[in-house]
Amino acid sequence: MQRLIDGIHHFQREVFPAKRDLFASLATGQRPHSLIITCSDSRIDPFLLTHADPGEIFVVRNAGNTIPDAKTTNGGESATIEYAVRVLKVATIVVCGHSHCGAMAALLDPSLTDKLPAVRDWLTAAEHIREDIETHGLRPSERNDSEAVVKRNVILQMSNLKTYDFVDHACRNGKLNIMGWFYRFETGEVEGIEFGQQDFHLI
């Protein structure tokens, strides 16, 4: 806890004064240009990664950066995406997976969640990912490749996004782009993929 309190004091002393005008301007409202959907993993910081300021990025985070499709559930993810697209009118949605993702490892090996019923429940909602990977989504040689699995998950989540009519509509009208990223935090590299493409490329 002390580490957090020391961090607040540092923020108030060193960081806030330099951005005082920015924070004051944000009191009148937010106009983020992008929504980033990423994993809860502590090794990812979407603001640090994109060198963004407060007010620039709307964020959804959960274990495995998964998005229920429009028919499956009406949870926090769909509500946040709806607000970002319909009210904030973000121009870009990024689904960002990452190297060494524990959620994807647990999805493929349920024994890892034997004593974590809530995690298992959450990942059960993402069961279609495992089915995809174990059937047609990846070549057999890629199924034990953790990077290939995370990238496939990103592609599937991009497809889930398009099941929301307001997302599909904004894309068709040229007002919204969907992109997938794979963030390799140990090297700082990011690979990207546009919706409909098959391969990731270095950004």
Nearest alpha-carbon partner for 71 in 164, 157, 171? 164
CB 125 within 8 A of CB 68: yes
Q: What is the DSSP string of the chain?
A: -HHHHHHHHHIIIIIGGGGHHHHHHHTT----SEEEEEE--TT--HHHHHTPPTTSEEEEEETT-----TTT---HHHHHHHIIIIIS--SEEEEEEETT-HHHHHHH-GGGGTT-HHHHHHHHTTHHHHHHIIIIIS-GGGTT-HHHHHHHHHHHHHHHHHTSHHHHHHHHTTS-EEEEEEEETTTTEEEEEETT-SS-EE-
Work out whether 103 is an interface residue with Zn ion (CB under 5 A): yes
**Using the rule CB under 5 A, is 154 a contact of Zn ion?**
no
Name the one range near Zn ion by CB under 5 A: 6-14, 20-28, 98-106, 167-175. 98-106
Single out the residue of 101, 158, 179, 193 in contact with Zn ion (rule: CB under 5 A).
Answer: 101
- Rounded least distance, CB 28 to Zn ion, Å: 35
Closest approach, Cβ 41 to Zn ion, in A, equals 4
CB of 65 to Zn ion, least distance (A): 7
**107 near Zn ion, rule: CB under 5 A:** no
Which 3-42 residues touch Zn ion, going by CB under 5 A? 39, 41
Is residue 167 close enough to count as binding Zn ion by CB under 5 A? no
Residues binding Zn ion: what is the number (CB under 5 A)?
Answer: 4
Binding flag, residue 147, Zn ion (CB under 5 A): no
Determine, following the binding rule CB under 5 A, whether residue 123 of this chain makes contact with Zn ion. Answer: no
Q: Which is nearer to Zn ion, 103 or 176 (CB)?
A: 103
Q: Which one of the spans 75-83, 103-111, 166-174, 185-193 is the region binding Zn ion (CB under 5 A)?
A: 103-111
For Zn ion, which is the closer residue by CB, 35 or 41? 41
Residue whose tokens read 């330099």: 18
Q: Measured from the CB of residue 118, what is the shortest distance to Zn ion in angstroms?
A: 16
CA 54/CA 60 separation, integer angstroms = 15
C-alpha span between 56 and 48 (Å, rounded): 12
Residue with Cβ nearer Zn ion (94 or 176)? 94
Region binding Zn ion by CB under 5 A among candidate stretches 53-61, 102-110, 136-144, 169-177:
102-110
Chain positions contacting Zn ion, by CB under 5 A: 39, 41, 101, 103
